Structure 1
Amino acid sequence: MAMAESSMPQPTNKDKPGISFSPEDYKAVDRNLDDPIVIMAQVEEPLVKKILMDPGSSADVLFYSTFQRMNLSDKVLQPSSGELVGFSGERVSIRGYIWLRTTFGDYPNSRTLEIQYLVFDCKSPYNIILGRPSLNAFNAIVSTVHLCVKFLSQDNKVVTIHGDQKEAVYNSEQLPPLVDLDPRTNHQERPMPLDDLTKVQLTNSENKYTYLGNVLRDTERAQMVELLRQNVDLFAWTPADMPGIDPNVICHNLAINPSIRPIAQKKRHLGTDKRITSLEETQKLLTARFIKELRYSTWLANVVMVKKNNGK
């Protein structure tokens, strides 16, 4: 199977603690030691169940059904040639590959890395298969005897993740689930008006408008439109319409641990449309003085584009 070159870090530090297993590591209820080791991990925003730890795999595999339910776009897939050859000789073509931020463990006993996943469109009882590339990158050791995996956290502590025997049971009638999806990627249906809406222009600017329900009587509608037009200056149509908000009113803080060394993500290049949109949105925030420019010599994080409800 052909596979793009990986730039994952390899363990070189001789001071890292050793990883060993003992009978106390075995926590499974069922004494069936032949179960596969299936865990849950955070991949980008959602927590993903049904992740098979497979040291026998030469690649990290993300199945296309999971890719779609994570609301990822085919446009982010990078082209890749090659095929996956199954046990009985069947061949499945690679749809492409994608780098995704993957986290083992729970903070502070966790570690996050960018993992290159090959995306395949075929049926599987698992959402993801993690093979040797990611296991080596995480300094992870799998013990099928103890039904667990151990890895080194961001501060070089040995952390244990026990396999979930219930999730390891194969059910061909159900797709493996994703859990705890981030609200920004959970496109549930929102409440909608019961009646039809009509667009109402509030000023001469085509960008300043609203919608009113057709259930209103003519007199009510006229009064409502007049009220809105008289107070049109109270609406914030763009970030620049409400500059200089006191941080004591509202302020967003990143929940970070200052004692942890920042990890620089692998820099990605945005497509033309996303790059233009990113610059436009950034300029809006700069104009409104919501943000300010700081220059660092080290690249830390990539821009993440999130679609609004209107699809933009």
Structure 2
Amino acid sequence: MDQPKVGKTEVPTKDKSMAIYMVQPWHRMTRQKVTQSFTRVNKIMFPPLATSRGAEGPLIIEAEISGHMIHRMYVDGGSSMEVLYEHCFNRLRPEIKSQMVPATTSLTSFSGETIWLLGQLRLSVTIGDAGHSTRAWMNFMIVRSLSLYNGIIGRPEIKEIQAVPSTAHGMLKFPVDGGIVTIRSTILIPTECATVITSSKEILKDAKVRHENFKVALHLNFSDQEPSDMTGVPRSVAKHWLNIREEYSPVQQKKRDQAPVRAKAIQAEVQKLVEAGIMREVYYHDWLSNPVMVKKHDGSWRICVDFTDLNKACPQDCYPLPKIN
């Protein structure tokens, strides 16, 4: 017996959920026409997958969170908690943001960097459509960090809603009354990666001509800038880290108070670096070094950092700089 077709019902504008798409302007997003489907089966199964047909990107879905339709939610089975990034949290309604409570834990990234949480927020999350969906209360940790995503749905809530993700298929499946819902992943394409790929293809086409240099856009909004400008350089283009000996313990230098004139100069220089996207506010409790102010010939100040303790912990460079006179 055929099931009767149900037409789409019009939702009044005032009742529509507020959509949160993306904050980072240097990434574009394409979406598949069909993002979800429903089948009347009892078992969660995935179709056979050929090597050449596997999905390449992460598993990204949309979810309605406390009346907001939030895009770019990363389903990560390796995460031990749910995360909501600050740029998404700031776009929630004030009455929802006011429910955030302090958090006493911290997060440690793969690089070993400690990130202190802004707080935690318990939110109602609905995945699926009006006809077939699952709903759960999720405890999100609010994090201040640059990210492609608005949030992360981790292992605890994947288990709570009895979902089965498959990154290879680009699908998330979970049971509902009467069958299984399949959510297909949204496709994210970082524009700076596309720029590098395009440049590489052009070089291969013109292989007979030797190109000494070619330019890569560091930021979509500032395409004319070069590495010397150093404004908002993504880590996929350039990244630096310190090679610290394992046997050295972190050193926290005692705070040195600065004179009012020097403190004002420090604040101005740091603000420039923050606005340019070179620096961001973090909470370090492992290493701490004081700024050192040096006056230039024109009377202005140059801000330096006392890296004496940090230099002792790093192996000596096998390729020192030549004498600069």
Q: What TM-score results when the alignment is normalised by the length of structure 2? A: 0.43
Q: What TM-score results when the alignment is normalised by the length of structure 1? A: 0.45
